[in-house]
């Protein structure tokens, strides 16, 4: 199945989607358990500090999210660009290399490693610390009852006075989100225009040759994903740009509070965009539909039976008759 650069890029996006959805899923399960445990206690203050495993998972998802979020957007942008160049230059052999497996793998690695190295450098200096945490008297524990509290200290990079690493980190992450937000609308418009040209060409071919020309489902899938990504990435990128301006330059506290409140809805758009990738592929691409059927045989039983029309020739002994047979009956 992974035989072209587009499939490799879509596989890379799928891996990023898994990591992007893993964190909210983990947080949902964790806080469901937290709410249940707190309900059994005298006071929420008796729950104690966050556990060692929570801190480890928190840091893990922070790093993976910092890599997967921008990489998914950049891969979507690159995939749309590749498809646009391939479709527009279908008769130019110099663009055939964009469809190869090698180009797809190199593109994924070139998008992945810069963000991975940047996140690794950023969080390498964060050290895990521990201290003793004592239960309040209201909890009913014996005096001086305590547990170990874990937390990550600030990285030495952020404490360095010779240069402002926090500003560098903020600017890099903001532009990593802003660039796809600016380019995706142009790619979406261009791909939709190419789809229109392709439909017109198919109509002309069918009229002239009476042939059934198949639609370019690959371009349709990529175009739909590009449009959905544009609708999610544009608000998120613009929000990041304003957040950078007001936190680094303007220092307008009211505007900063508003931007913080808007982070939740915009992150929800990103989550919906992530979930839409699977739905779009299944709705349009027969390749992915067949893959789902092969991976989950139960889906085969849920498919609607297909009606088959059987026509018996008039010269046969059975006479001229037509019967309808239903698969699975």
Give the pLDDT of residue 107.
92
Give the pLDDT of residue 106.
93
| Closest listed residue to residue 319, CA positions, set 327, 308, 311 | 311
Residue 285 pLDDT > 70, yes or no? no
Q: For residue range 150-205, what is the model confidence (pLDDT) as tens digits?
A: 888 777 666 666 667 777 888 888 888 888 888 888 888 888 787 777 666 666 66
- Where does residue 39 rank: exposed (0-12), middle (13-18), buried (19+ CB within 10 A)? exposed
Q: What are phi and psi of 232, to 5 degrees?
A: -90, -40
Q: How confident is the model at residue 115 (pLDDT cuts 50, 70, 90)?
A: very high
Question: What residues have CB less than 8 Å from 188, skipping those under 6 apart?
Answer: 80, 223, 226, 227, 230
Q: How confident is the model at residue 2 (pLDDT cuts 50, 70, 90)?
A: very low
Residue 8 pLDDT > 80, yes or no? yes
- DSSP assignment, residue 329? -
All domains in the chain, ordered by first residue:
5-297 (1.20.1070.10)
Looking up tokens 């899923």, which residue turns up? Answer: 25
Give the span between the Cα atoms of 213 and 201, in whole angstroms.
9
- DSSP assignment, residue 317? T
First to last CA, the chain: 33
Q: What is the mean pLDDT of the chain?
A: 77
Residue 108 pLDDT > 90, yes or no? yes
Q: Is the pTM of this model over 0.75?
A: no
CB 187 within 8 A of CB 77: yes
* Higher-scoring residue by pLDDT: 241, 213: 241
Token pair, residue 36, equals: 């249940």
Give the pLDDT of residue 323.
43
Q: What are phi and psi of 51, to 5 degrees?
A: -75, 170
Compute the average pLDDT of residues 83-94: 79
Positive or negative: CA dihedral 62, 63, 66, 68: negative
Compute the average pLDDT of residues 232-261: 79
The number of C-alpha atoms within 13 Å of 309 and in the hemisphere containing its C-beta is 4
Give the span between the Cα atoms of 150 and 38, in whole angstroms.
20
Q: For residue range 311-325, what is the model confidence (pLDDT) as tens digits?
A: 444 444 444 444 444
């Amino acid at each position: 199945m992974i035989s072209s650069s587009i499939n490799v890029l879509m596989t890379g996006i799928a891996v990023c989607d898994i990591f992007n959805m893993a964190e909210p899923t983990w947080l949902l399960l964790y806080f469901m358990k937290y709410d249940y445990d707190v309900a059994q206690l005298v006071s929420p203050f008796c729950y104690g500090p966050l556990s060692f495993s929570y801190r480890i998972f928190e840091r893990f998802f922070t790093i993976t999210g910092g890599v997967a979020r921008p990489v998914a957007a950049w891969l979507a942008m690159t995939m749309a660009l590749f498809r646009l160049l391939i479709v527009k230059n279908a008769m130019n052999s110099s663009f055939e290399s964009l469809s190869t497996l090698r180009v797809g793998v190199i593109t994924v690695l070139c998008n992945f490693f810069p963000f991975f190295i940047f996140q690794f450098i950023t969080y390498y200096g964060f050290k895990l610390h521990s201290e003793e945490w004592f239960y309040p008297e209201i909890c009913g524990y014996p005096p001086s009852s305590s547990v170990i509290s874990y937390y990550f200290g600030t990285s030495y990079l952020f404490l360095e006075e010779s240069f402002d690493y926090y500003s560098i980190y903020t600017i890099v992450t903001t532009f990593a989100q802003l660039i796809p937000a600016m380019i995706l609308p142009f790619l979406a418009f261009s791909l939709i225009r190419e789809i229109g040209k392709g439909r017109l060409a198919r109509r002309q071919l069918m009229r002239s040759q009476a042939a059934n020309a198949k639609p370019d489902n690959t371009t349709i899938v990529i175009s739909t994903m590009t449009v959905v990504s544009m609708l999610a990435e544009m608000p998120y990128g613009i929000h990041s740009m304003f957040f950078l301006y007001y936190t680094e330059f303007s220092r307008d506290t009211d505007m900063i509070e508003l931007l913080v409140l808007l982070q939740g809805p915009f992150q929800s758009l990103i989550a919906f965009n992530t979930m839409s990738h699977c739905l779009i592929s299944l709705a349009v691409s027969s390749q992915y539909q067949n893959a789902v059927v092969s991976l989950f045989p139960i889906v085969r039983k849920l498919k609607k039976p297909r009606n088959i029309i059987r026509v018996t020739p008039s010269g046969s002994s059975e006479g001229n008759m037509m019967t309808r047979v239903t698969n699975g009956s």
